[in-house]
Structures are given as structure tokens and as C-alpha cells.
């Protein structure tokens, strides 16, 4: 019986118990599920070709042995098997292959296999998210098969495209526009049509990347505020939507402000995913009148966690993956000295306040084991009285420092920047790159560069020229970077030119090289101070 049938039978308690019951788990109960499912996964994974390519003849029998024998892995370890899509080598039969771009990888894309049981789990957890997004308190929710869903995420073969498919197995919610039509549309076409349909049929749910949701919301506002509304358009709308539109128009005129989505739609549930959501949440709440609920998902792990009605940190689903955590300190130590093997902590060993890099092993026949996806989370508590939960709660911090992720759209690595500089043939001798936020709290990539002394004398070099040139090459090597401009309309690069010799002076002063990617706030400040001093001296 799926969600829709249960709703028909008014089994609300059962629905909550089935999908959101994991929130009531005790730490022991949670770990019991984790360990037991892991036992199954160890068997499957260790005995398959992929597992053996990493284990090299060893066969772990239990969790402890598994954690000892399996090294921490990254996509490189799987690339040969996964990119050639060899089902025989995998721990479970793949039903679908999900893909994403592989920035800085040896191949343009990454693919991840999904087994049927992974999809079953995914479906249940997606439904849990749907339910939780509408809930105001424990046990209460408001989902109906007649609801409409505006979906601002990429279609298959990207992971986000699974969402409507999985949800359709549970409840026949209408997606605006229909998934089959949406596949062949461009992003803006999809949004326009989606909004048009929403105007006619009303809207219950909205899900997108934080940044995209914001862009879409703004486009909604602009579409409605653009002068009068044609009668022919109104004719197609439902009566209550017409009433709502007229009311909203009147109210906005009175308050002298543009029409906002919240005037038109009373969302039941609002979900966002991706990075940098913190920057958009407040604005989105202002636009839609409801605070978005953050989900945590990725190509490799599918959906991993969700916030609840309190919107105060998220919980990892116990049956998607087996989670391990590396402390920030150990992670940095390992980054500087790759021979250092950082210890990992389990869900029942995390400490509140600590920042962790997530390591996961996909359960139910998944391919990835002890996989470092490069995401950082902060544990914000082990229990929560508001949610009545007894399992750890996390918040998403950002990508690992050596990857700069802008608005969940693109992931820029050190190698990426190097090749951009190389391609541009710009006389950049030294640089650091970091993610910063502008006055509107929007993220951008800030590059501080130092140029060759001769070049400064012989060629025209302003920050704007550098920015344009670098942007051109960023767009060339990174499709997502192009989309950032196209979809979000944002220009995510700023360049600051340092006085010649700044980096050398810094090194002299501190006795060490600065981290080129995301140097700490303190390091960057020191670098700026050094440059200031240099300028003063002159």
C-alpha cells in the first residue's frame, strides 16, 4: 500500500510511523539499524569485483574488520569499474545509473549505480521529506494526491531527476510541468511553463536548489508584476486562483510593493537542497511566506538526510548509508600529509559543535564504501527537545576547503583554477582563491592574484580584464559555471590584484606558504596586512 492509498484510508498515524518513525529512534536503535544493514552490505561489497579491487584479496567479516581493511576512498578508486558500467563487478544489480559532472576528474562525468532496494529506500525517504516539509509538529502533516508540485531541479540522468519518479510510486502528485514534458525543455522554459500551470492550478510544493529556487522565485515575481493580466489567461485559471490574484494585486498596490509568490501561493511544503542554502533561506522565506526545509542529497548517496518542522538541523536517514565522520583537524592533517590515515567516528561517537567531513558506505548493494564525498557537516546536538529526537543533528557547513562550491552549481578545484590560469596564459605568478559573500549574502569566488612585474609594465592589466579573461576560461572548462550565469544570472568571480612581492613577503613573515584554496580567515587577513605594509613602505 503506498502513501496515496493510506491517505485514502486515513491511516495518518501509520503513515507518520512508516516514513518519519526514524525520528523516534534511540541512539541504540539507530545504530542497530546501521550495523545490521552494514553487515549485509559488507557481505555484498566484499565479495564483488569492485570491492575486491579495493580490498585486494582480503575479506572483512565484521564491521571492525571492514573499517580496518577498507581504506577511505574517493571516486578515482571506482572510476575504472563504474565508468565502464560493468554490472557484474558490482555488489548489486544496477537499475539506473545516475550521473553528474566530475570537476577536476580524469573524466568529464561521474556515474553512480542504484539498485532496486536503494531506490526503495530512496522512495521512502523522499516521501518522508515530503511529509516533513508540511508538518508543523510531530505527527501532523498535510499531503494530498491532488497537490501540485513545482520542481526546479534537473531531470534524469541527474540525481535530482529521480525525485519525481520515486515520488510517483507513492503518490500521484502532479508535477508542473509534467516530468515527461519537462525533460525536453530548457531551464527557463520549464520554469515559465511551470509557473503558468501553477497560476492555473495552484501550487502545494516547491523544491529546488536554494540558489535556483531563489532565481525562480524572482522570475515569478517579475512575470506577475509585468503590467496587467490578460483576460484570456485568467479564463484558464481556477476560480480561487483568480480571486487570489485579484486580492493580491489590490494588496500590493496598497502596500506599494511588487507581487510576491506568497501572495499567490500558500505552499504546504518547501524544500531546498544543495550548498549555500543559508544565504538564500531568509530571502526565500520572505518571498514564499514559509521557511524552506533543507534536504541533504548527492549523486553517490541519493537522499541522506532531512530537516524537520523545527528547521533546526538535519537528521541522517538510518537506512541510506552507513556514516562515519572525520574531524576537521584530522581532515586537514590528512590533506597536508596524505600518508596520515585519519580516524573515523560513528554516529554515536560524534560530539556537538565539532565540524566533520562525512564518509559514507552506501547500503543495500551500493557501490561506494568508506567514500569521502567532500562535504563538511557540523554536529549541532545529540538530542532535541523541540523535535523530541534522541539522535544527532547536523547542519551543512560547506564543501571541503579545497573545493569551492558556488551556490550548489559548480565545484571549483585547485586543478581547475590552475588550468584556467594556464589556458588564459595570464602572467599570474601567485594566487589564492576563496569563497566570499557579498553584501546581499550571495556567494562568489574571490581570487587574489599577483602578477609578473614585467607584465604589469608592458600590458594592460586591470582587475576587470583579468576577471573577464578568467571567466571566459572558467566557462570554457566548466559547463556548470556557464549555467551559473545563465540560470542564476550571477557573476561569481571577483579578482583582486596584489602588489608584487606580497606572497614572498608573507612567506618571509610567517615562514610558510599560504593555502591556495580557501585559506583560513586568519591567513587571508595576514596576507592583506602584508600587502598593506608593502604599500605603506612605498
Partner 1 sequence: MGTYGYISIIAMLCYGFMLLMFLAAKRNKIINSFLVVLLGLLFWTGGSAFMRAQFWPGCEFWYQVSLLGILLLPYAYCRFILAFGGKKSGVPGKIYLVVMLLCFWLNAQYGIFLESPNVVDKNGVSTFVYEIKPAIVVFFIPAGIFLIYLFMVLVQICKENPNIKVQYEPVVLGILALFLGNAFLGIPIFSGFPIDILSGVVNVFLLFYALIRRRLFRLQMLASSSLCYGVGFLFSILVFLNIVPFLQKIPGIQPDKNMTVYTLILAIIFLVIYTFFTFLWRLLIRSVFIREENHQAEKIREFNSAISKTLDLQEILDRTIRVMKELMDVGNIYVCMQNVPGESYRGVASDQPLSDLAFALEEENPMIQWLKEHEEPIIYRDFRYSVEYKSMWEEEKHQLDKNHTRYCAGLKDGDNLVGVVLITDSSAKKRLVYDEVELISNITSVASIAIKNARLYENACLEARTDEMTGLLNRKYFYEVLNEEFEKNKEASLALAIINVDDFKLYNQLYGVKEGDLCLQCIAGIIKSSVGDSGYTARYGGKEFAVLLPGYDLFSARNLVESIAKQIFVMNNRRTDMKLKAITVSAGISAAPYAAKNVKELMENVDLAVYHVKHSGKNGIQVFDTMFRNNKNENTTNREHIYREYESTIYALTAAIDAKDHYTFSHSTNVAYYATALATTLGMNEDMVEIIRQAALLHDVGKIGIPEYILNKAGRLTDEEYETIKGHVEASIDIIRHLPSLDYVIPAVIGHHERYDGKGYPRRIAGEDIPLTARILCVADSFDAMTSNRCYKKAFPVNVAREKLLQDAGKQFDPNLVEKFVECLDNGTISLVKAEEA
**How is 483-497 classified by DSSP, letter by letter?**
HHHHHH----EEEEE
Q: Which is nearer to partner 1, 214 or 360 (CB)?
A: 360
Shortest gap between Cβ of 496 and partner 1 (angstroms)? 51
- What is the Cα–Cα distance from 456 to 441, expressed in whole angstroms? 33
Instruction: Look up residue 515 and give its DSSP letter.
Output: P
Q: Which is nearer to partner 1, 322 or 345 (CB)?
A: 322
Q: Is 242 in the site for partner 1 (CB under 8 A)?
A: no
- Cα distances from 314 to residues 140, 354, 375, in angstroms, run 18, 15, 14
Mask 6-45, x = binds partner 1 (CB under 8 A)?
-xxxx---x--xx--xx-xx---x--xx--xx-xx-----
Shortest gap between Cβ of 254 and partner 1 (angstroms)? 30
Touching partner 1, residues 326-385 (CB under 8 A):
364-365
Touching partner 1, residues 40-69 (CB under 8 A):
40
Shortest gap between Cβ of 22 and partner 1 (angstroms)? 6
Shortest gap between Cβ of 227 and partner 1 (angstroms)? 35
- What is the Cα–Cα distance from 481 to 425, expressed in whole angstroms? 20
Q: Which is nearer to partner 1, 13 or 230 (CB)?
A: 13
Q: What radius of gyration do the chain's Cα atoms show?
A: 25
Those residues whose C-beta lies under 8 Å from the C-beta of residue 511, and which sit 6 or more positions away, are none
Mask 210-239, x = binds partner 1 (CB under 8 A)?
------------------------------
Based on DSSP, count helices (H) and strands (E) in the chain, helices before strands: 22, 19
Touching partner 1, residues 290-319 (CB under 8 A):
318-319
Q: Which is nearer to partner 1, 21 or 49 (CB)?
A: 21
In the list 80, 102, 117, 230, the residue contacting partner 1 (rule: CB under 8 A) is 117
Distance of CA 359 to the CA centre of its chain: 16
Touching partner 1, residues 175-214 (CB under 8 A):
none
The DSSP bridge partners found for residue 324 are 346, 359
Strand 109-115 relative to strand 148-152, pairing: unpaired
- What is the Cα–Cα distance from 427 to 216, expressed in whole angstroms? 39
Region near partner 1 per CB under 8 A, out of 3-11, 194-202, 353-361, 411-419: 3-11
Shortest gap between Cβ of 122 and partner 1 (angstroms)? 13
Shortest gap between Cβ of 144 and partner 1 (angstroms)? 6
Instruction: Look up residue 386 and give its DSSP letter.
Output: T
- Cα distances from 32 to residues 26, 137, 348, in angstroms, run 10, 27, 11
Q: Which is nearer to partner 1, 323 or 356 (CB)?
A: 323
Q: In terms of Cα–Cα distance, which of 66, 46, 24 is closest to 359? A: 66
Q: Which is nearer to partner 1, 194 or 301 (CB)?
A: 301
Residue with cell 523541540: 386
- What is the Cα–Cα distance from 287 to 217, expressed in whole angstroms? 7
Those residues whose C-beta lies under 8 Å from the C-beta of residue 291, and which sit 6 or more positions away, are 270, 281, 284, 285, 311
Residue with cell 505527527: 139
Residues 263, 290: contact at Cβ < 8 Å?
Answer: no
Q: Which is nearer to partner 1, 9 or 351 (CB)?
A: 9
Q: Which is nearer to partner 1, 26 or 438 (CB)?
A: 26
Three-state DSSP class for residue 30? helix
Residues 500, 451: contact at Cβ < 8 Å?
Answer: yes
Q: Which is nearer to partner 1, 30 or 409 (CB)?
A: 30
- What is the Cα–Cα distance from 366 to 371, expressed in whole angstroms? 11
Residues 386, 310: contact at Cβ < 8 Å?
Answer: yes
Q: Is 138 in the site for partner 1 (CB under 8 A)?
A: no
- What is the Cα–Cα distance from 155 to 183, expressed in whole angstroms? 6
Mask 477-516, x = binds partner 1 (CB under 8 A)?
----------------------------------------
Shortest gap between Cβ of 316 and partner 1 (angstroms)? 13
Q: Which is nearer to partner 1, 110 or 268 (CB)?
A: 268
In the list 53, 62, 140, 146, the residue contacting partner 1 (rule: CB under 8 A) is 146
Q: Which is nearer to partner 1, 39 or 80 (CB)?
A: 39
Shortest gap between Cβ of 463 and partner 1 (angstroms)? 54
Binding site for partner 1 (CB under 8 A): 1, 7-10, 14, 17-18, 21-22, 24-25, 29, 32-33, 36-37, 39-40, 117, 144, 146, 318-319, 364-365
Amino acid at each position: 500500500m503506498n502513501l496515496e492509498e493510506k491517505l485514502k484510508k486515513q491511516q495518518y498515524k501509520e503513515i507518520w510511523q512508516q516514513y518519519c518513525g526514524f525520528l523516534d529512534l534511540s541512539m541504540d536503535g539507530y545504530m542497530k539499524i546501521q550495523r545490521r544493514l552494514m553487515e549485509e552490505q559488507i557481505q555484498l561489497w566484499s565479495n564483488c569485483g569492485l570491492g575486491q579491487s579495493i580490498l585486494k584479496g582480503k575479506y572483512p567479516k565484521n564491521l571492525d574488520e571492514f573499517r580496518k581493511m577498507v581504506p577511505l576512498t574517493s571516486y578515482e578508486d571506482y572510476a575504472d569499474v563504474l565508468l565502464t558500467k560493468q554490472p557484474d563487478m558490482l555488489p548489486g544489480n544496477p537499475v539506473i545509473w545516475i550521473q553528474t559532472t566530475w570537476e577536476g576528474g580524469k573524466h568529464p562525468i561521474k556515474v553512480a549505480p542504484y539498485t532496486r532496494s536503494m531506490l526503495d529506500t530512496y522512495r521512502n525517504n523522499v516521501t518522508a521529506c515530503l511529509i516533513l516539509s508540511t508538518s508543523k509538529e510531530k505527527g501532523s502533516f498535510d499531503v494530498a494526491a491532488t497537490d501540485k508540485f513545482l520542481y526546479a531541479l534537473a531531470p534524469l540522468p541527474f540525481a535530482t531527476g529521480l525525485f519525481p519518479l520515486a515520488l510517483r510510486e507513492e503518490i500521484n502528485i502532479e508535477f508542473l510541468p509534467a516530468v515527461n514534458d519537462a525533460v525536453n525543455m530548457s531551464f527557463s522554459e520549464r520554469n515559465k511553463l511551470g509557473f503558468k500551470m501553477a497560476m492555473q492550478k495552484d501550487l502545494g510544493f516547491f523544491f529546488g536548489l536554494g540558489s535556483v529556487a531563489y532565481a525562480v522565485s524572482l522570475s515569478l515575481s517579475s512575470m506577475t508584476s509585468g503590467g496587467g493580466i490578460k483576460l484570456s489567461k485568467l479564463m484558464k485559471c481556477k476560480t480561487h486562483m483568480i480571486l487570489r490574484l485579484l486580492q493580491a494585486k489590490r494588496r500590493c498596490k496598497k502596500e506599494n510593493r511588487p507581487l510576491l509568490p506568497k501572495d499567490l501561493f500558500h505552499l504546504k511544503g518547501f524544500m531546498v537542497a544543495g550548498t549555500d542554502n543559508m544565504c538564500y533561506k531568509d530571502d526565500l522565506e520572505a518571498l514564499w511566506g514559509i521557511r524552506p526545509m533543507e534536504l541533504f542529497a548527492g549523486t553517490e548517496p541519493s537522499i541522506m538526510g532531512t530537516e524537520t518542522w523545527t528547521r533546526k538541523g538535519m537528521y541522517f536517514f538510518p537506512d541510506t548509508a552507513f556514516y562515519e565522520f572525520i574531524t576537521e583537524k584530522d581532515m586537514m592533517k590528512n590533506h597536508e600529509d596524505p600518508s596520515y590515515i585519519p580516524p573515523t567516528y560513528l554516529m554515536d561517537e560524534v560530539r556537538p559543535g565539532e565540524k566533520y567531513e562525512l564518509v559514507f558506505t552506501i547500503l543495500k548493494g551500493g557501490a561506494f564504501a568508506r567514500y569521502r564525498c567532500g562535504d563538511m557537516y557540523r554536529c549541532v546536538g545529540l538530542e532535541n527537545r523541540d523535535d523530541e529526537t534522541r539522535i544527532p543533528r547536523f547542519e551543512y557547513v560547506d564543501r571541503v576547503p579545497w573545493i569551492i562550491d558556488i551556490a550548489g552549481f559548480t565545484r571549483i578545484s585547485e586543478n581547475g583554477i590552475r588550468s584556467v590560469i594556464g589556458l588564459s596564459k595570464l602572467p599570474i605568478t601567485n594566487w589564492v582563491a576563496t569563497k566570499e559573500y557579498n553584501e546581499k549574502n550571495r556567494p562568489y569566488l574571490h581570487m587574489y592574484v599577483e602578477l609578473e612585474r614585467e607584465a604589469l609594465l608592458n600590458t594592460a592589466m586591470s582587475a576587470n580584464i583579468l576577471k573577464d579573461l578568467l571567466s571566459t576560461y572558467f566557462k570554457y572548462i566548466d559547463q556548470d559555471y556557464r549555467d551559473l550565469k545563465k540560470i542564476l544570472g550571477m557573476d561569481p568571480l571577483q579578482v583582486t590584484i596584489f602588489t608584487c612581492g606580497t606572497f614572498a613577503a608573507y612567506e618571509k613573515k610567517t615562514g610558510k606558504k599560504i593555502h591556495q584554496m580557501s585559506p583560513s580567515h586568519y591567513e587571508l587577513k595576514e596576507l592583506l596586512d602584508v600587502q598593506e605594509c608593502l604599500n605603506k613602505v612605498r
